[in-house]
Amino acid sequence: MESTNMELHASKHRNSSRTATNRGRLWAASALSALLFGAPAFAHKTFLASERHLWGSGDTVEVELTSALEFPNIEYGPTLDRISFTSVLVANTQVQNVAFEEGQTALTVSFEAAESGFSVVAMSTHPRSGEISPEGAAAYFDEIDAELAVRQAFEDLPGSPPLNRSYSKHTKVFLCVDTCERGQEARQTPLGQALEFVGVADEARSFALVRHGEAVANQRVTIYSDRGEHTAAVTDERGVVRVDPSFSGVVLLSAIWITAPDEPSGVYHSDQATLTVLIPTS
């Protein structure tokens, strides 16, 4: 079998409008830094999973979209109306006949493998917004490892406002049907998701993070093994991160990009990208 290259009390009024403006600027700058790099291992992960990464022509390929605290657990499945984007490619050909089945633990995507070659399945969700209670804001700031300036700016808001956020999830999995050689270009080609991972040519362990098609440098990426291990890395100037040689088998790459508001009372949006891929043993 050939080797395969695959796979988020407030109490005090400000003394003056100038103070408010300065705090807003400080919050925006600090929030951007803290939120870009605060993607802890215990956050929920949304990803695509497949029981096999090498399928045969004629098989009915099944891929599950799920969310879980721990990879590779299959725990919570979204409903189909949460999905904004689906793409299924085999040998660089778009698969048109795709079926969906909702379930408690996963939303299952299935298709007939009529072609042979490299396959990319990707799904994104519609943005979902919500509020975090003032009492829950501290725990959320802990989760994203926010800096003191971010926390203080929120606590200094008058009254006891909720923390406003929205988020979208962008998932991808690399598979093969019969062979991984045909249509390999799809591995390196962005699909147009707001945030996504793509492969790097001739580098089985290297992946680039792109946002709206542009490389994202100096960005934290967390890498999980299917044995419960995880490690953190940072993308280089090309937006590329390399999976450590100690990781092999099915791994998950995860990154979060936060669009911070201008003021701490605004809504900030997170995009989480994940890639499930089979890494060959070095």
Per-residue pLDDT tens digits for 112-135: 999 999 999 999 999 999 998 988
Got the DSSP string for 170-208?
EEEEEEEESBSSTTGGGGG---S-SEEEEEETTEEEEEE
pLDDT higher than 90, residue 90: yes
Overall average pLDDT of the 214-243 stretch:
95
* Euclidean distance between CA atoms 206 and 243, whole angstroms: 6
Q: Give residue-wise pLDDT tens across range 151-192.
A: 787 888 898 899 888 889 999 999 999 999 999 999 999 999
Overall average pLDDT of the 139-161 stretch:
76
pLDDT higher than 50, residue 3: no
Which residue's entry shows tokens 């093994």?
225
What separation in angstroms does the CA of 180 have from each of 3, 27, 71, 166? 8, 47, 25, 37
Amino acid at 141: F
Which residue's entry shows tokens 């969700």?
125
Residue 231 sits at φ, ψ, to 5 deg, of -150, 160
Instruction: State the pLDDT at residue 217.
Output: 97
* Euclidean distance between CA atoms 111 and 58, whole angstroms: 10
pTM of the model: 0.81
99, 63 Cβ separation under 8 angstroms? no
Q: Containing H/E element for 276?
A: strand 267-279
Q: Give residue-wise pLDDT tens across range 15-45.
A: 333 344 444 444 444 444 444 433 444 467 9
Query: 216 is written with which tokens?
Result: 């994202």
Instruction: State the pLDDT at residue 209.
Output: 98
pLDDT higher than 90, residue 87: yes
Question: What value does the CA radius of gyration of the chain take, rounded to a whole number of Å?
Answer: 20
Instruction: State the pLDDT at residue 144.
Output: 59
Band (pLDDT 50/70/90 cuts) for residue 262 is: confident
Instruction: State the pLDDT at residue 27.
Output: 46
Q: Containing H/E element for 209?
A: strand 203-211
Band (pLDDT 50/70/90 cuts) for residue 148 is: confident
Residue 184 sits at φ, ψ, to 5 deg, of -60, -20
